[in-house]
Amino acid sequence: MILVLLFISMYLAGCTNKDEVKSLKGELKLKEEQVDTLNTMIKTNDEKMQALEKKVAEYEVQLNTGSNSVLNQAFTVINILKNKDMNSLANYIHPDKGVRITPYSYIEIQTNLVFTAQDMVGLLENTQVYTWGEYDGSGDPINATFSDYYDEFIYDVDFVNANTIGNNTIIGTSGNMVNNLNQAYPNESFVEFHFAGFDAQYAGMDWKSLRLVFEDVDGTWYLVGIIHDQWTI
């Protein structure tokens, strides 16, 4: 009887050990899978970091390639716009074509207002009401002085501190309005200053962009377009 009980005890102990070993093997396999997943994530993040570092290096090269690079001009102009210094802005406007001002992504080549460098001087103080286009959604005309338009459709947020800057890259694309920048300005370069959004409850639908379009004239980049963009319906 004692031998039988001893045998049963040893058998049960063996079963318990086998279950523990099986459980440990399962846990080990799970840990190995987790390690593999983490390694994959690390590799992916490393690749993304390398891509970002490469992009930053490209921007640094572009910024350091002469005082008249597009990015340098764009950063200068966006600071001028922030400071509402129209006298300084006039120096960067295309001497022959002037600058076309567009309230949304679709550029109306024939009807968007164009101002010369001479026009720009004193324009903020000008009380004349212009028709700049139509409001998205309602279709009502955008009738405003340059000063009022400026506050609503040029420097309505602090674009100097934009979340993202695109060099010849369109960032803000959400919305239903067509973006025809590349058709309207096929040979020009542009820089986009973009905010992805401001209030989490809108899930990014309150994004804003300002695109500055430049044309090269004998090695100097002149401003030919100011395009405001945002979510459209």
Mean pLDDT within 176-200: 96
Token reading at 63: 């910024």
Average pLDDT rounded to a whole number, residues 28-54? 67
Q: pLDDT by residue (tens digit) across 190-202?
A: 999 999 999 999 9
Q: For 113-125, what is each residue's pLDDT tens digit?
A: 999 999 999 999 9
139 and 37 in one domain? no
CATH of the domain at 128: 3.10.450
In the chain, % of residues over pLDDT 90: 68
* Same structural domain, 27 and 42: yes
Task: State the pLDDT confidence band at 111, using cuts at 50, 70 and 90.
Answer: very high
Please tell me whether residues 28 and 84 are part of one structural domain: no
pLDDT of residue 145 exceeding 70: yes
DSSP-derived secondary structure letter, 150 = I
* Same domain flag for 205 and 91: yes
The yes-or-no verdict on residue 13 having pLDDT over 80 is no
Q: Edge-to-edge strands of the sheet including 114-115?
A: 114-115, 99-102, 220-230, 208-217, 189-195, 164-167
At position 180, the amino acid (one-letter code) is N
What domain range includes position 40?
1-64
Please tell me the distance from the alpha carbon of residue 104 to that of residue 172, in angstroms, as a whole number. 11
Q: Are residues 16 and 116 in the same domain?
A: no
Judged against a pLDDT cut of 50, whether residue 90 lies above it is answered with yes
3 has a pLDDT exceeding 80: no
Give the 3-state secondary structure of 151-180: HHHHCCCCHHHCCEEEECCCCCCCCCCCCC
Q: Are residues 101 and 171 in the same domain?
A: yes
CA distance linking residue 152 with residue 144, whole number of Å: 10
Dist. CA 154–CA 160, nearest whole Å: 12
Burial class (CB in 10 A: 0-12, 13-18, 19+), 99: buried
**Same structural domain, 72 and 49:** no
Mean confidence (pLDDT) of the chain:
86
Q: Is the per-residue pLDDT at 5 higher than 80?
A: no
**60 and 72 in a common domain:** no
Provide the pLDDT for residue 32.
76
At residue 67, the pLDDT reads 45
Kindly state the average pLDDT of the residues 208-214: 98
